[in-house]
Amino acid sequence: MPVTGSALGVAVIGHSFMGKAHSLAWRNVNATFDTPPVARRVLVGSNDQAVQHSAQRYGWSESSTSWQQTILRDDIDIVDICTPGALHAEIALFALAHGKHVLVEKPLANTVAEAEAMAAAARTAAADGLVAMLGFNYRRVPALALARRLITEGRLGQLRQLNIRYYQDWLVDEQAPMSWRLRKEQAGSGALGDLGSHAVDQIRYLTGSEVSSVAATSHTFVTERNGEQGTEAVSVDDAVWSTLELENGGMATLEASRMATGRKNSLRIEAYGSRGSLAFDLESLNQLQLCEVGAPAAEQGFKTILVTEPEHPYLDGWWPTGHVLGWADTFTHQLRDFLQAIDGGPAAAPTFDDGLKVQRVLEAIGQSAAVNGTRVQLAGQP
């Protein structure tokens, strides 16, 4: 439904890396896109002084250390959850139950059980006109939105192979210290959940198809690290490799590693179809490579499109041709879509159901890796 009257009141829960990225996006979305006006009311954190400082810096009217009290305020319409994953379910369920629109940073939750509860709550809340959306911001990279558009329009023909490789290198050094991210009980998994979740979301986003089965291997290269309590075993994966069968007959591969020396934030995607193919690397965020079978053999090749034209997704809000965007701008795009959904525009996506499905695929990958790579089926689940 269209938003009328005064601005939508926003609270962001969490103010570290993601809290900052979301805060800047909230600052900019009304200035960039035609969206309902928002009022940046409350930034919430656990440390009083720290969150006060962040609130002032990022331009929030107030700060708070209580997400419950904040959510209960009448002048808060939107709750944007940027906390660690373990808190996502509790906060989101509370917010939906109290009639708030909810945006949750990925991953949806730490467990499938939590994700199921959240997805159910979101479905219920939708009947009351509440929007619940999950924050996989790479869907808002213009080059990837263009990729999806081209695939959806059939420009690649039948999509056969999709390769997604998400590589970072911040664990290369054996001397890098032990941390909560390397403990299974706290982090759930390693590269799989952290990087692989983006990959699974892109597989579903780009192909429009569900994953029907997975076979996977994972590995931990540095098996123990020094922490504050001395040497400790690393209980999550450093890297994971998986082959996924899709319901539409395509095959996808997923590779994730935090040990890929020299790759800083390299989400590389290649899609091969019967009529064309695409290639993308997040480190060159504004470019998409397209190859079409239709060209004469002597003129076939991968064309590098600089995705800065007014015709490109999200570019109408920005600059003339040739002026590139940055990683943080994808969060502004995310808010555009979220706000337009609240305002009666196209339905918000990814939904919590999408998040649940990603979670199930990640769980299946973990299961397959635990049984020597034997393929695990995902069929039959709602």
Select 294 or 380, whichever has its Cβ closest to its own copies.
294
Name residue 17's amino acid.
F
Between CA 2 and CA 316 the distance in angstroms is 21
Between CA 222 and CA 218 the distance in angstroms is 13
Select 27 or 183, whichever has its Cβ closest to its own copies.
27
Beta-strand ranges (E) seen in 124-235 are 132-135, 159-167, 211-219, 224-227, 230-233
Residue 65 neighbours by CB under 8 Å, 6+ apart? 44, 45, 46, 47, 48, 51
Return the closest-CA partner of residue 199 out of 167, 229, 172: 167
Q: How far is the CB of 185 from its own copies (least distance, A)?
A: 24
Cα 132–Cα 24–Cα 325 angle in degrees, nearest 5:
100
Q: How far is the CB of 206 from its own copies (least distance, A)?
A: 15
Between CA 320 and CA 11 the distance in angstroms is 33
Select 100 or 263, whichever has its Cβ closest to its own copies.
263
Q: How far is the CB of 121 from its own copies (least distance, A)?
A: 32
Q: How far is the CB of 159 from its own copies (least distance, A)?
A: 10
Between CA 123 and CA 131 the distance in angstroms is 9
Select 322 or 346, whichever has its Cβ closest to its own copies.
322
Select 91 or 141, whichever has its Cβ closest to its own copies.
141
Select 96 or 145, whichever has its Cβ closest to its own copies.
145
Q: How far is the CB of 88 from its own copies (least distance, A)?
A: 21
Q: How far is the CB of 354 from its own copies (least distance, A)?
A: 24
Output the six-digit token pair for 293: 């079978």
